[in-house]
Amino acid sequence: MNSTLGTSTIPRGLIHRPSAGRTTRPCDNCTCSPGLLSRQGRRASQFLKKMENNRRHKKRESVIGDDLSIYSSDSLCQSNKEVNTTKRLAALRKQMAKHKLCCYIVPSEDEHQSEYVSLHDQRRSFISGFTGSAGVACITRDLMNFNEDHEEGKSILSTDGRYFNQASQELDFNWTLLRQGIDTLSWQEWCIREAKEMSEGLGGKEVRIGVDPRLISYEQVVAFLKLLKESMHGTGANVELVPIDENLIDNIWPQFETVPEKPRNELLKLDHAYHGEEFSLKRERVVKQLGELGSENSPNHEFIVVALDEIAWLLNLRGSDIEYNPVFNAYLVLNNKDETNLFCDDPFNDDIKQCFEKNNISVKPYKSIWEHLEVSAASALEIENDKERTEFLIPDMSSWQLARSVCATQYKIIHSPIDVFKSVKNSTEINCAHNAQVKDAVCLVQYFAWLENELNAKEMLIDEYRAAKKLIEIRKTQKNFKGNSFATISATGANAAIIHYEPPEEGSSMIDPSKIYLCDSGSQFFEGTTDITRTVHFNTPSQEEIDNYTLVLKGNLALERLVFPEGTSGYNLDVIARQFLWSQGLDYRHGTGHGVGSFLNVHEGPIGIGFRPHLANFPLQAGNVITNEPGYYKDGEYGIRIENDMLIKEAEHLQFGDRKFLKFENMTLVPYCRRLINVDLLTKQERHQINEYHARIWDKIVQFIPTRSITHKWLKRETQPL
């Protein structure tokens, strides 16, 4: 939102961040941002200095605030949460003018539609200052302003409920936060409305909305064009959505920061002991499925694999081009003629080279994918007989640019069969996943025991970031540990209410033992990927915290106990975890579960448990690994989340006609927090379930814990029967 606009222009439901009347205490001339500064490996904070000054000079409390605590982040330089985007937006609008655009869309994704992207692809974070993984930035240029030296316009950031709190802190006064699912307009409707008003103001002149076609999915474009057509009907406006092949953010980025290089890290071959199925067999399964998904009149198919985790899974390779995700930048094209082309710039060793040669895999430069498609499309058009012509099969999450490359030929959009195959773990992957859970449980038990001892027995001051680093140190003692599966959410008190909080290296809050502490973390082992959340209290929690924790726990337990028929999707199960919170008028703004990869992405499609309609298209299957993570968040006070990784298995001896039943197995082996459980709110069945779970944890984990250690003592206490 441009700072010159009045609040009367703000659509109902949008949250405006004005430059005046702020409740935070800005520093002089401070425009730093955690997200932008962290990309350069630096931050600016006065937290430790202020904390020490506060302890020595109590009189300053009247200036800083009466409720200041040494554990609080209230003493942080609040404007560290923002970057002044004024000059960035001005530079972008000059680029927009060159292309005669009234609006420019900046997605979060890379050209593979990845959820998490490399630093090189964090364009939306650069232009907005918002560092969350999901969101769309939309920037307008006022065509009614004829001062070419001073372009004006509006800017919005649209994101989901996981990031409302974070975005409201990171966005500066130029931006308006549009909350998905709550505000009256979607970002698409907002763009179209702004463009429509400009076109009408110019007497029906054509105005253009632009986007880099590599960074937006074709599916999104089709939906946008449909909405655009409906919105223009009966009006005198003329609005077009146009692809802009040069990325306008890339054009201005070097003016403000050193642009991170596109990563090209060495590929890693995954041993058969961890994947259990060779490439040739996987490819055979994929090609067979493609034959069923392709058109009947076209026996020849060429399938373009776009998703990075699908390529890594299919080739039994891993990489490190994106932090926390063991994937590498690549495209892969395969056909039913035993030809496989990998478009990748990452180096690889002789062992991988031999595998490529053995399996007839040709490696070509990453960017040559577009030339390959151009040549292949031209060759297909030259064949006059439709039955001999090659049909291009492209995934439903393909970019607009990919669809444009094959749209002149015979093509079909399908959901990638690799996505579904990958989500069903084989026996090797399942056994490895269990081993990974044992390893991570040992680490987390050690961590919580250490943290409690440091805070209570030693009365040490430990900030959230230092605690998260300690957890990494503990995990590094485990064989085959390859790093975290995402940035650890180490959050004390009010920070725990920020669903995707990441503690800054400098300026983290001190962990307050009198408040709730939430730790959401995961590991990448050769054996598998983990994602575990525990909410704990190191002292005496309030009755409200105890009761709400127990409501969350009851939902978690209910979902874990569920037995359900084959063909059931996670869309149908979400209510099971929310029922106890709903009974008290409470809820949470995120899904209840997501798929987990096998030494791959911690968020793995296509399955999930949540309220997003697309989940209904993908029934849960035996072999899926999925999280169970209900929560509750009270902004400004505390947050609660309990997350386990569950394996879906067949429920033996249960069958209704031809329909079998499925059940969950809780793979995670970390105790729940006894201090936060209200036993009176639990049923006899729930108490038995918890006691049985804790007994299993003790049996599996105690053998890895030294006797007479603080960890042994902690584990014994936390796993005692209720």
Question: How far apart, in whole angstroms, are the C-alpha atoms of residue 218 and residue 111?
Answer: 11
Backbone angles phi, psi at 541, to 5 degrees: -75, 160
pLDDT digits (tens, 9 = 90+) for 395-426: 999 999 999 999 988 899 999 999 999 999 99
Question: Which whole-number Å values give the CA distances from 533 to 101, 253, 383, 456, 502, in the listed order?
Answer: 45, 36, 56, 22, 14
Q: Does the structure show a pLDDT above 90 at 56?
A: no
DSSP codes, 209-265: EEE-TTSSBHHHHHHHHHHHHHHHTTSS-EEEEEE-SS-HHHHHGGGTSPPPPPP-P
| Residue whose tokens read 């495209």 | 331
The torsion angles phi and psi of 407, rounded to 5 degrees, stand at -65, -20
| 238: confidence class by pLDDT, cuts 50, 70, 90 | very high
Is the pLDDT score of 309 beyond 80? yes
* Model pLDDT, residue 21: 33
Q: Which residue has the higher pLDDT, 377 or 268?
A: 268
Contact 1, 10 (CB under 8 A): yes
What interhelical angle do 710-718 and 427-452 show, nearest 10?
110
Please tell me which residue, 380 or 600, carries the higher pLDDT value.
Answer: 600
Average pLDDT over residues 6-22: 34
Predicted local distance difference test score (pLDDT) of residue 387: 67
Tens of pLDDT, residue by residue over 628-679, are: 999 999 999 999 999 999 999 999 999 999 999 999 999 999 999 999 999 9
Residue 4 is predicted with a pLDDT of: 30
pLDDT value of position 9: 33
Number of other residues whose CB lies within 10 A of the CB of residue 60: 14
301 within 8 A of 96, measured Cβ to Cβ? no
Distance CA 36, CA 456 (A): 36
- 3-state class (DSSP) for residue 361: strand
Question: What's the token pair of residue 687?
Answer: 């108490």
Q: Residue 182's beta-bridge partner residues?
A: none
For residues 714 and 445, the answer to whether their CB atoms sit within 8 Å is yes
- What is the pLDDT of the chain when averaged over all its residues? 89
pLDDT confidence of residue 98: 95
> What pLDDT is recorded for position 295?
81
- The answer to which of 181-185, 429-433, 541-545 has the lowest mean pLDDT is 181-185
Name the strand (E) or helix (H) holding 50. helix 47-56
pLDDT tens-digit profile of 205-236? 999 999 999 999 999 999 999 999 999 988 98
pLDDT of 140 reads: 97
The residues, any chain, with a CB within 8 Å of residue 631's CB and separated by 6 or more, are 499, 533, 552, 588, 590, 639, 640, 641, 642
Helix (H) or strand (E) holding 639: strand 638-641
Q: How many percent of the chain have pLDDT more than 90?
A: 80
Cα 347 from chain centroid? Answer: 27
Q: How far is CA 601 from the centre of its chain?
A: 10
Could you read off the pLDDT of 245-279 as tens digits, one per residue? 999 999 999 999 999 999 999 999 999 999 999 99
Q: Which CATH superfamily is domain 427-718 in?
A: Creatinase/methionine aminopeptidase superfamily (3.90.230.10)
Model confidence at 65, in pLDDT bands (50, 70, 90)? Answer: very low
Q: Higher model confidence: residue 684 or residue 300?
A: 684
Q: What pLDDT, on a 0 to 100 scale, did the predictor assign at position 148?
A: 67
**In 327-390, which ranges are continuous DSSP H helix?**
350-358, 369-382
pLDDT in tens, 466-524: 999 999 999 999 999 999 999 999 999 999 999 989 999 989 999 999 999 999 999 99
Paired tokens of 549: 């924790």
**CA distances (Å), 659 to each of 423, 576, 654, 665, in order?**
21, 22, 9, 20
Helix (H, G, I), strand (E, B) or coil at 386: coil
Between 613 and 83, name the one with better pLDDT.
Answer: 613
φ/ψ of residue 93, rounded to 5: -65, -30
* Residue 125 and residue 36 in contact, taking contact as beta carbons nearer than 8 Å: yes
pLDDT at 302 (0 to 100): 93
Residue 171 has pLDDT above 90, yes or no: yes
CA distances in angstroms from 688 to 213, 274, 693, listed in the order given:
55, 35, 8
Contact yes or no for 324/344 (Cβ under 8 A): no
- DSSP code string of 641-679: E-BEEEEEEEEEEEEETTEEEEEEEE-------GGG--G
Of 576, 569, 613, nearest to 595 by C-alpha is: 569
94 pLDDT above the threshold of 80: yes
Tell me what pLDDT residue 11 has.
35
| Domains of the chain, residue spans | 7-23+84-255, 268-415, 427-718
Query: Tell me, what's the pLDDT at 162?
Result: 86
Task: Choose the weakest-confidence range: 90-99, 297-306, 510-519.
Answer: 297-306
pLDDT at 146: 66
The edge-to-edge listing of strands for the beta sheet with 528-529 is 481-484, 523-525, 528-529
Q: Helix, strand, or coil here: 16? A: strand
Rounded-to-integer distance, Cα 622 and Cα 628, Å? 16
E strands, 498-561, in order: 516-521, 523-525, 528-529, 532-537
pLDDT over threshold 50, residue 202: yes
pTM, rounded to two decimals: 0.88
pLDDT at 160 over 70: yes
At 173 the three-state DSSP class reads coil
Q: Report the C-alpha gap between 554 and 552 in whole angstroms.
A: 5
CB-based burial, 637-673: b 16+ in 10 Å, e otherwise: ebbbbbbbbbbbeebeeeeeeeeebbbbebbbbbbbb
Under a CB-based contact definition with an 8 Å cutoff, are residues 71 and 493 in contact? yes
Structural element, H or E, at residue 391: strand 390-395
The CA-CA-CA angle for residues 105, 110, 112, to 5°, reads 125
pLDDT given for residue 384 in this prediction: 62
Quick: pLDDT tens for 525-556: 999 999 999 999 999 999 999 999 999 999 99
Q: What is the fold, at CATH topology level, of the domain defined by 268-415?
A: Creatine Amidinohydrolase; Chain A, domain 1 (3.40.350)
Query: Mean pLDDT across the stretch 564-574?
Result: 98
Instruction: Find the distance separating the first CA and the last CA of the chain, reported in whole Å.
Output: 54
Q: Where are the beta strands (DSSP E) in 108-214?
A: 136-140, 155-159, 176-179, 206-211
Alpha-carbon distances, residue 681 vs 555, 577, 672, 676 (angstroms): 12, 16, 15, 12
- Under the banding of pLDDT at 50, 70 and 90, the label for residue 33 is very low
CA distance 451 to 474: 12
Class of 7-23+84-255 per CATH? alpha beta
Give the pLDDT band (50/70/90) at residue 75. Answer: very low
Find the DSSP H helices in 494-649: 543-561, 574-582
DSSP string over 264-327: -PPPEEPPHHHH-S-HHHHHHHHHHHHHHHS-TT--EEEEEE--HHHHHHHHTEE--SBTTB--
Full DSSP string of 74-108: TTS-GGGG----HHHHHHHHHHHHHTT-SEEEEES
Report helix, strand or coil for 412.
strand
What pLDDT, on a 0 to 100 scale, did the predictor assign at position 151? 78
Instruction: Dump pLDDT digits (tens) for 135-152.
Output: 999 999 998 876 666 778
As a whole number of angstroms, the distance between CA 24 and CA 317 comes to 48
User: What is the pLDDT averaged over residues 599-625?
Assistant: 97
Phi, psi of 333 (to 5 degrees): -125, 125
Pairing of strands 155-159, 176-179: parallel
Domains 7-23+84-255 and 427-718 share a fold: no
CB-based contact 340:361 (threshold 8 Å)? yes
